[in-house]
Amino acid sequence: MTMTAVHLGMDDIDSPRGGCTTHFASLLVEELTELGASWLDYPNLIRLNPNIPYRTRGNGAVTLRFELEASDVDQVLPRSNLLLKKYLKEDYPNTNPGMVIATGDVPVDLLGFSKLALWRTVPVALARRLVARLALPYIAIGNRRGLIGALSAIGNPLRQDHTYEYIAYRSIELTSRERGVDVDSVFKMNQKYGNRLFSNIDGSAQKILIEPHGPDPVIYGIRGETPLDVIKAADLIQSKQDKERWMVFRTNQGTGAHLVHRVRLSDIRPYMAAVVEGEVATKSKIIEGGHVIFKITDGPTNAECAVYEPTGEFREIATMLIEGDKVSLDVGVRPASRMHGLTLNVEGLRILQLTDEVILVNPICPHCLKRMKSAGKEKGFKCIKCGFKDPQAKKTEIPVERQLKAGRYLPPPRAQRHLTRPMNRMDRRNNGIPNNLVDEWHDP
Amino acid sequence: MLFKPGESCEICDSREGVLEQCSMCGAYCCENCRDDKEKICLTCQEARCFICAEYLASRACDRCGRLVCEDHGVKVNEVTVCNLCRANET
């Protein structure tokens, strides 16, 4: 019996009106297990560039990696296609599913493609060229955009830092009802597991982050460092809706994998996820809607930066920056419109160096030690108590203690991207592909 | 890692042929990844607003799925609707 390694990538099997690529993947795991698949890895949930305008929610694609008897490999795509046709919500025009199969080692070309899709936009034309050149069997519906995610998911074997997410699903027929995740049970879970979990609650807002709000089949998703952590933690969660199925994914969530390129302001492109460095060029202003806007410069080029209202207390940090502060910003690039130029949407901030802040005050009268008043434009200062005049006197600079400190700042967890490396993962790395999977990582 | 544009095609990473800058986004791209007639890269060709084609899209219309820029789509309650769908609905 000859076994073949199979990588089955998929994307865009969802819409804002329902469905979810990860849920579809869990149905496919059941189907392929029946076909005799021997699992090489947990399903990989790969988040891609979060600044893409046509993403549904979190821009996530999935790959299933397994071994199968060589003679059965030809059955994988037809069986997946049958399941896909049953699953699709065809009333939504912006669902463009794609599935791709690669066998053996992951093609080198896909590794580069996948890296690009983490921080740039990739045209469908490139994905189509790639499947043709590598002769990869695929299914693509609609405008074939799903091919991009499917190929990118295959091309990211998560050899470096990764995390896990346990996702519990409800019946697809019950997706219009309230999930009813018990808030107390989530806080208790978080307290019990501490740093072994991340981004499941927002402590400052006392909010839970594990429960989505759309009409998709996900009841909740628990993010953590190991498969056993998330499986055990899920036992503590109570919800009104029953779990119909669950599965553990190995993911690039919480790894900051999209922010590895430092980009000069002159080289910024629309939709990029990038790290830019510069000096604050103008102090921030708050515009309608509560958003904070300021400019940075790296010498030859200036760029407008935006910190949005939902980022809450993170905006306060932006409002305290002053001209001359040296910063490194994690940004997503919003394209220009008729109303504004390219805008850097700030999703993280590192203060590299704070400039000295001073306030200017009128000089003190040398005779009576009271503050003098201006004697008029370019006429110096005069003391209104004793009448002393000093035409040469100038305002005095008084240093002010900065409220900010150099270091890293992030929006609160509720406003972070799936890919954002949260504070409690700053020094943590889980490297390497697991050798063995835990006994029960999905049900059914 | 510092991004150094101009060394290879920003889309397919090819180092062959002449790289030219896209007139919409500024990306350097090879002849396979650009439309010479329109002087734009394939990424911008796919991501521009379907109504004006002048600006890149900010969202997909929730009704028809096509991409629209901020001027030609209205976001209400987290849902973007393009001006064309809005006109057809009213």
8 Å CB contact between A336 and A306: no
Count of domains observed in chain A: 4
A337: which chain B residues are within 8 Å (Cβ-Cβ)? 55, 58, 69-71
Mean pLDDT, residues A282-296 taken together: 93
Cβ contact, residue pair B56, A94, below 8 Å? no
The closest of A107, A410, A125, A68 to A254, measured between CA atoms, is: A410
Does B10 contact chain A (CB < 8 Å)? yes
pLDDT over 90 (residue A139): yes
The closest alpha carbon to A344, from A414, A387, A294, belongs to: A294
Q: What is the DSSP string of A124-152?
A: HHHHHHHHHHTT--EEE-TTSTHHHHHHH
- Helix, strand, or coil (residue A252): coil
Whether residue A152 is found in the same domain as residue A19 = yes
- B64 to chain A: which residues are within 8 Å by CB? 93-94
Q: Is residue A28 part of a domain?
A: yes
pLDDT score of A91 more than 70: no
Whether residue B81 lies within 8 A of chain A, CB to CB, comes out as no
Using a CB–CB cutoff of 8 Å, tell me whether A335 touches chain B. yes
Q: Is residue A417 part of a domain?
A: no
Tell me what pLDDT residue A132 has: 97
User: CB neighbours of A66 closer than 8 A, spacing ≥ 6?
Assistant: A5, A6, A8, A32, A37, A38, A39, A40
Name the band, by pLDDT with cuts 50, 70 and 90, for residue A59.
confident
* Nearest residue to A113 via CA among A100, A103, A97, A104: A100
Q: Do A126 and B55 touch (CB under 8 A)?
A: no
Q: What is the dihedral angle through the alpha carbons of A326, A330, A332, A334, rounded to the nearest 10 degrees? A: -10
Interface contact B55, partner A, CB < 8 A: yes
> Does A114 fall in a domain?
yes
pLDDT tens for A167-176 read 999 998 888 8
Distance CA A341, CA A7 (A): 41
For residues A31 and A113, membership in a common domain is answered with: yes
User: Residue A266's pLDDT is what?
Assistant: 96
Instruction: Determine the pLDDT at residue A92.
Output: 59
pLDDT value of position A89: 65
Q: Tell me, what's the pLDDT at A88?
A: 84
Q: Which residues pair with B45 in a beta bridge?
A: none
The answer to whether the Cβ–Cβ distance between B65 and A94 falls below 8 Å is yes
ipTM for the assembly: 0.93
The residue with greater pLDDT, A398 or A56, is A398
Chain B interface, best mutation among A14, A17, A51, A54, by max B CB count within 10 A: A54
> Which residue shows structure tokens 């990473």?
B13
User: What is residue A1's predicted lDDT score, i.e. its pLDDT?
Assistant: 77
Residue A112 near chain B (CB below 8 Å): yes
- Whether residue A110 sits in one domain with residue A12: yes
A273 pLDDT tier (thresholds 50, 70, 90): very high
pLDDT at B78 over 80: no
C-alpha–C-alpha distance, residues A206 and A21, integer Å: 29
Which position has the token pair 């400039």? A355
Q: Which chain A residue has its CA at the smallest distance from B67's CA? A: A54
Q: Are residue A38 and residue A96 in the same domain, yes or no? A: yes
- Domain holding A309: CATH number? 2.40.50.1010
More confident residue, B78 or A317: A317
Q: What is the pLDDT of residue A136?
A: 98
| Same domain, yes or no: A181 and A245 | yes
- With a threshold of 0.90, does the pTM exceed it? yes
- Identify residue A334 by its one-letter amino acid code: R
User: What are the Cα distances from residue B64, in Å, to A346, B50, B82, B83, B87?
Assistant: 30, 11, 8, 11, 13
Q: Is residue A418 part of a domain?
A: no
Put simply, whether A260 touches B (Cβ < 8 Å) is: yes
Alpha carbon of A345: minimum distance to chain B alpha carbons (Å): 13
| Residue A116 with chain B: CB contacts under 8 Å | 11, 13
Q: Are B68 and B51 in contact (CB under 8 A)?
A: yes
What is the C-alpha separation between A23 and B10, in angstroms, rounded? 34
Of A159, A180, A200, which closes a domain? A159
C-alpha to C-alpha distance for A211 and A234, rounded to whole angstroms: 13
Are A32 and A153 within one domain? yes
Whole-angstrom Cα distance, residue B17 to residue B30?
A: 7
Which residues have C-beta within 8 Å of that of residue B37, sequence separation ≥ 6? none
What count of other Cβ atoms lies within 10 Å of the Cβ of residue A105?
A: 9
> What residue has token string 């108590």?
A385
Given A127, A159, A191, the domain boundary residue is A159
In a domain, residue A405? The reply is no
Separation in Å, CA of A172 to nearest CA in chain B: 21
Is A126 in contact with B33 (Cβ distance < 8 A)? yes
In a domain, A393, yes or no: yes
Residue A22 and residue A141 in one domain: yes
In this structure, the answer to whether residues A324 and A302 fall within a common structural domain is yes
Spell out which residues of chain B touch residue A271, defining contact as CB-CB under 8 Å: 47, 56
B55 contacts on A by Cβ (under 8 Å): 335-338
* Contact criterion met (CB < 8 Å) for A93 and B65: yes
Helix%, strand%, coil% for chain B, nearest 5: 20, 25, 55
Work out the average pLDDT over A105-121.
Answer: 96
Residue A262 contacts residue A350 (beta carbons within 8 Å)? no
Mean pLDDT in chain A?
Answer: 94
Chain B residue at shortest CA distance from A334: B58
Residue of B13, B15, B25 for testing the chain A interface, max A β-carbons within 10 Å? B25
Structure confidence at residue B74 as a pLDDT band (50, 70, 90): confident
Predicted local distance difference test score (pLDDT) of residue A383: 94
Chain B residue numbers touching A274 (CB-CB < 8 A): 3
Reported as a pLDDT band with limits 50, 70 and 90, residue B17 is confident
Same domain, A139 and A233: no
Predicted confidence (pLDDT) at residue A24 exceeds the cutoff of 80: yes
- Which among A141, A159, A177 is the end of a domain? A159
Chain A contact set for B13 (CB, 8 A): 112, 116
CATH code, domain carrying A192: 3.90.600.20
Taking residues A409-413, what's their average pLDDT? 96
Residues A207 and A346 in one domain: no
Instruction: Please tell me the distance from the alpha carbon of residue A355 to that of residue A385, in angstroms, as a whole number.
Output: 36
Judgement on whether residues A347 and A295 belong to the same structural domain of the protein? yes
Whether A420 is covered by a domain: the verdict is no
Q: Which residues contact A4 (CB under 8 A, 6 or more apart)?
A: A67, A68, A69, A70, A73, A103, A104
Q: Give residue-wise pLDDT tens across range A431-442.
A: 999 999 999 999
Contacts of A112 in chain B (CB under 8 A): 13
Contact B69 A263 (CB under 8 A): no
**What percent of chain A has a predicted confidence (pLDDT) above 90?**
86
Q: Is A100 inside any structural domain?
A: yes
Rounded distance between C-alpha atoms, residue A6 and residue A76, angstroms = 9
Domain with A325, as residue range(s), is: 265-354
**CA A181, CA A321: separation in Å to the nearest integer?**
39
**Is A16 in Cβ contact with B67 (below 8 Å)?**
no
Q: Do A263 and B60 touch (CB under 8 A)?
A: no
C-alpha separations of B52 from A380, A403, A426, B85 in Å: 58, 46, 43, 15
Contacts of A261 in chain B (CB under 8 A): 1-3
**CATH code of residue A141:** 3.30.70.2200
pLDDT at A56 over 80: no
Tell whether A243 and A363 lie within a shared domain. no
CA distance B19 to chain A (A): 15
Distance in angstroms (rounded) separating the CA atoms of residues A267 and A299: 13
pLDDT tens per residue, range B37-67 = 999 999 999 999 999 999 999 888 888 888 9
Any idea which residue has 């760029």 for tokens? A303
Q: Does B88 touch chain A (CB under 8 A)?
A: no
> Which residues from chain B sit within 8 angstroms of residue A336, using beta carbons?
55-56
> Do residues A372 and A362 make contact, with C-beta atoms less than 8 angstroms apart?
yes
Whether pLDDT at A71 is above 90 = yes
Q: Which two tokens stand for residue A205?
A: 């807002």
Query: What digits encode the pLDDT tens for the residues A321-376?
Result: 999 999 999 999 999 988 889 999 999 999 999 999 999 999 999 998 999 999 99
Over residues A236-246, the pLDDT tens digits come to: 999 999 999 99
Comparing A187-201, A202-216, A293-307, B74-88, which segment has the lowest mean pLDDT? B74-88
